[in-house]
Amino acid sequence: QVRLVESGGGLVQPGESLRLSCAVSGDDFSEKNMAWYRRDSGQRRELVATISTTGRLKNYADSVKGRIAISRDNAKNTVYLQMDSLKSEDTAVYYCNYLPHVDSWGQGTQVTVSS
């Protein structure tokens, strides 16, 4: 069973930046497409960004396009989410998972954007 450990969240003001990290267990990380998801206070889960196995193909939700960048380091079994120009509506718990996701989720990392 995969183990996913997210980190890097915090409380920031609008316009500031955060970099999220997700460490993924297992020997097949480089063979998995990965994604970041988020769940807001209304418990809606949104697919935020996706990245292919090599990192060449990336896709973003319209709500974050131009402000967020996904990347990965296959040598470190880690996927990242660079978040710039944060807005209050980005407030959520952020999770990484495979794409498509599996039922095993990490604890997530809370991002709160507030003045």
Predicted confidence at residue 63, as pLDDT, reads 95
Token representation of residue 72: 């990965």
How far are the Cα atoms of 20, 39, 44, 68, 108 from residue 93, in angstroms, in the given order?
11, 5, 10, 15, 6
Token representation of residue 26: 């297992």
Q: Is the per-residue pLDDT at 42 higher than 90?
A: no
Per-residue pLDDT band for 6 (boundaries 50, 70, 90) equals very high
Quickly tell me which residue has 């990347």 as its tokens.
Answer: 71
Respond yes or no on whether the N-terminal peptide bond of residue 14 is cis (omega within 30° of 0).
no
Q: Is the per-residue pLDDT at 114 higher than 90?
A: yes
Per-residue pLDDT band for 77 (boundaries 50, 70, 90) equals very high
* Distance in angstroms (rounded) separating the CA atoms of residues 24 and 40: 23
